[in-house]
């Protein structure tokens, strides 16, 4: 049993036991055990623990930080080594002009607050989609959707700028024109080593492009992360299906922190943050509303699965090309 759910205090029901874990004030639901034909994996309590945070960002940056900081401190208290925040954890604006006005460079005040928070908590942070004023801000007046990884000393160890921008029109969900205020990133980021494993960075709409995930796994990724703000129409139809597909085809853990609820009068998000294991099983998911879920990352299980089902040895690039070229 490698995953469990932490509900916010106002939704507490009762405390159920989970092996090797004591969590007062929270209800814990354990994922059902996977059927395994392989040797027993590492001791549950020895596996790295990750926290996946679910929030409802608004244009109020100060309040958004307070909400995220509370979840990060709770994740640290529960023993997580890494906490994941969703896309647009800093804010969700009402229009492109407000997005530009509220954005900051990576050297700005907001990222400095998260740097101090990572140091205070001794926790690695995945900041899933920061509205970044890049070096070309003065010329373009557009931002990057930037996924930032901080280590437990507060240092920026990786940045990935979203490469696939969400310009879509979904009936019932309203038009989305991310390119009105955002520039697509120029490249992928090599997987970064963390206490939980090697993480491949992506953001939200990127999950619809399997070539990206294939490139990351061939570069060594063990965990793929898709911080997101999925809509209320595409969410029920595609969210879990896509995340499980990415996990199965790459034989990676998939961690997806999500925005939830109504951000303002113009926008709402689906939520349902989750962790999927390399077999495609959802091992942890958030309940409704802001909160967090926790999961253990079992890299021995991942390696055993890849050995028993060696799909990457069976690929036929001579027939269909090398989809998802390995990163140089």
Residue with tokens 């090599």: 190
204 is catalytic: yes
249 is catalytic: no
CA distance 148 to 302: 25
162 is catalytic: yes
Read off the tokens for 292: 């967090």
3-state secondary structure of 130: strand
- Residue of 104, 121, 132, 162 with catalytic role: 162
- Residue of 87, 104, 132, 178 with catalytic role: 87
Buried b (16+ CB within 10 A) or exposed e, 189-226: bbbbebebbbbbbbbbbbbeeeebbbbbbbbebbbbbb
Question: Which run of H or E residues covers position 114?
Answer: helix 109-121
Read off the tokens for 309: 């089902």
- Residue of 204, 252, 260, 293 with catalytic role: 204
CA distance 31 to 1: 6
Q: What is the DSSP letter of 89?
A: S
Asked if residue 169 lies in contact with residue 178, where contact means CB atoms within 8 angstroms, the answer is no
CA 127, 324, 242, 269 torsion-angle sign: positive
CA distance 160 to 128: 9
Please tell me the total number of residues recorded for the chain in this structure.
328
Positions marked catalytic: 87, 162, 204
């Amino acid at each position: 049993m490698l995953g469990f759910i932490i509900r916010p205090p106002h939704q507490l029901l009762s405390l159920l036991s989970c092996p090797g874990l004591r969590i007062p004030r929270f209800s814990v639901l354990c994922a059902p055990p996977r059927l395994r034909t392989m040797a027993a994996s590492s001791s549950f309590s020895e596996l790295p623990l990750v926290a996946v945070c679910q929030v409802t960002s608004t244009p109020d940056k100060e309040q958004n930080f307070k909400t995220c900081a509370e979840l990060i401190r709770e994740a640290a208290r529960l023993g997580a080594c890494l906490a994941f925040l969703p896309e647009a954890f800093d804010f969700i604006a009402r229009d492109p002009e407000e997005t530009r006005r509220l954005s900051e460079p990576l050297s700005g005040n907001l990222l400095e607050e998260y740097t101090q928070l990572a140091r205070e908590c001794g926790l690695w942070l995945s900041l899933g989609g920061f509205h970044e004023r890049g070096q070309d801000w003065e010329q373009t007046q557009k931002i990057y959707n930037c996924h930032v990884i901080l280590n437990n000393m507060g240092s920026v160890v990786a940045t990935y700028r979203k490469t696939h921008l969400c310009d879509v029109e979904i009936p019932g969900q309203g038009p989305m024109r991310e390119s009105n205020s955002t520039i697509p990133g120029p490249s992928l980021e090599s997987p970064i080593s963390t206490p939980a494993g090697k993480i491949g960075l992506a953001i939200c709409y990127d999950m619809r492009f399997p070539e990206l995930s294939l490139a990351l796994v061939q570069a060594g990724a063990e965990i793929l992360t898709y911080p997101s703000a999925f809509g209320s129409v595409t969410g029920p139809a595609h969210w879990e299906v896509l995340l499980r597909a990415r996990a199965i085809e790459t034989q990676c853990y998939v961690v997806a922190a999500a925005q939830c609820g109504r951000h303002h009068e113009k926008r709402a998000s689906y939520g349902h943050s989750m962790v999927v294991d390399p077999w495609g099983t959802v091992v942890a998911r958030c309940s409704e509303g802001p909160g967090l879920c926790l999961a253990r990352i079992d890299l021995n299980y991942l390696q055993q699965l890849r050995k028993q089902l060696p799909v990457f040895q069976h690929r036929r690039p001579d027939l269909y090309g090398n989809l998802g070229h390995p990163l140089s």
